[in-house]
Amino acid sequence: MKELTSKPEKILAKVARCLCNNLPYPMPNAPCPTPYSLTMVEKNQSRYSILWINKIAEIPQQAWDDLAMPLKTPFLEWEWLNNLETSHSATAKTGWLPNHLTLWRDRTLIAAAPLYLKGHSAGEFVFDHQWANLAERIGVEYYPKLLGMTPFTPVEGYRFLIASGEDEDEITALMVHEIDTFCHKNRISGCHFLYVDPQWRPMLERHGFTAWLHHSYIWENGGFKNFDDYLQVFNANQRRNIKRERKAVEKAGLRLQPVTGDEIPQSLFSLMYHFYADTCDKFGWWGSKYLTKRFFEQLHAHYRHRVLFVAAYSEQDDRRPMGMSFCLFKGDRLYGRYWGSLQEIDCLHFDACYYAPIEWAIANNIQSFDPGAGGRHKKRRGFPAMPNHSLHRFYNSRLAQILLPHIHEVNQLEQEEIAAMNAELPFSQKQGEQS
């Protein structure tokens, strides 16, 4: 689990002591919840029907995808979200109760927000456990909370889905008002949007949500012609190291083969589940198994057009991979999700999860590649730390005291951490430096 540095922890501990002892704590001026008056919201509400949906299958796929397809992220599309539900990966039993907000004009879906009622914080990768612990100490029920994100998918891009041509600010005000009403009525402690679309974030901040800064590791295409061209961004020592790592996989007798869409044999989807499950078992809580075998198997029928497998075949068997990574792509963006192998093979993880996908990305005009959560190995392989944000609103005034007074300071520390990590990237400092 990522933990805050000691300074933010001390800040939160100070707040906790005041709250636990019922002492006053100085609060800044809270942002206005919405730029619209309640009268304006109620006036606009009469033009729409609002429905809370517990199964995305209750919404026609075409109606939902008319809103989701124009977005850069693939993770808000109906097929992906429906698969999470029908495969029993994201359900009430697993602590992800679907509670999607939809807005209709007559029988036309105008806007939607994929939302979940959460009874825990697992599978989110934005670690709010310190907030939950403080809530327990002051006698406030933190769970359930209302969450907006694609389950188990720490990838930037979450936002409300709003039809083209609609007044986005007006629709957003209505949806935020409906969320506020729902949470107050049902005594929900807070609403949280994770890994939000950076272009959407300012609008939600205007509507009273507070931003918390985090970071991901993102590769960006600098107009590279091929992988060797990409290697020139590194210093000489790291170029040699990357070449050595790729050579180690070759010496092990393995050939990496990217396959997409209809090229993928159906058998690879169930095999990918076994690789995924084995990797999760090896890494304990960090690699918890959130997805079922059925989830992977169902990808073949309706979502293989978004899937990229990088399969490692041995010289002895060109049908069953020794290892494999699982990525998705849409437009000019590539996303790494999971990987696994039958046995430990030196540097196979680096090649299958980083180098081969980058090579494929360059060849297919991909402009950015998010390789997935965690950063232990990514910095040295060309993935700078990049900022992302979550958005938060507490409906309990005492919980709000944990977040609002000091989030700016916490964000400043995170920004400094991002700068420090990127200062250590093994990139060339000399023009034309050669290995």
Strand partners, 329: 334
Strand partners, 211: 391
In the structure, what pLDDT confidence band is assigned to residue 373 with cuts at 50, 70 and 90? confident
Is the pLDDT at 45 greater than 70? The verdict is: no
Confidence at residue 2, expressed as pLDDT on a 0 to 100 scale: 34
Higher pLDDT, 73 or 44: 73
Question: CB 42: neighbour CB atoms within 10 A?
Answer: 12
Q: What is the separation of C-alpha 284 from the centre of its chain, rounded to a whole number of angstroms?
A: 20
In the structure, what pLDDT confidence band is assigned to residue 431 with cuts at 50, 70 and 90? very low
Is the pLDDT at 75 greater than 50? The verdict is: yes
Secondary element (H or E) of residue 155: none
Is the pLDDT at 9 greater than 50? The verdict is: no
Sorted by where each begins, the domain ranges of the chain are 6-217+387-423, 219-381
Confidence at residue 285, expressed as pLDDT on a 0 to 100 scale: 56
What's the pLDDT tens digit per position in 276-286? 999 998 876 55
Asked if the domains 6-217+387-423 and 219-381 are classified in one and the same CATH topology, the answer is yes
Strand-by-strand arrangement of the 49-53 sheet: 49-53, 100-105, 108-113, 161-162
pTM for the complete prediction? 0.89
6-217+387-423 CATH pick, 3.40.50.300, 3.40.630.30, 3.40.50.460, 3.30.360.10: 3.40.630.30
Question: CB 329: neighbour CB atoms within 10 A?
Answer: 20
**DSSP assignment, residue 427?**
B
CATH architecture of 219-381: 3-Layer(aba) Sandwich (3.40)
What's the pLDDT tens digit per position in 116-152? 999 999 999 999 998 999 899 999 999 999 999 999 9
| Average pLDDT score, the chain | 88
Closest of 300, 373, 385 to residue 335, by C-alpha: 373
Token pair belonging to 245: 């790592």
What's the pLDDT tens digit per position in 302-316? 999 999 999 999 988
Q: CA–CA separation, 136 vs 178, rounded Å?
A: 27
Q: CA–CA separation, 38 vs 358, rounded Å?
A: 50
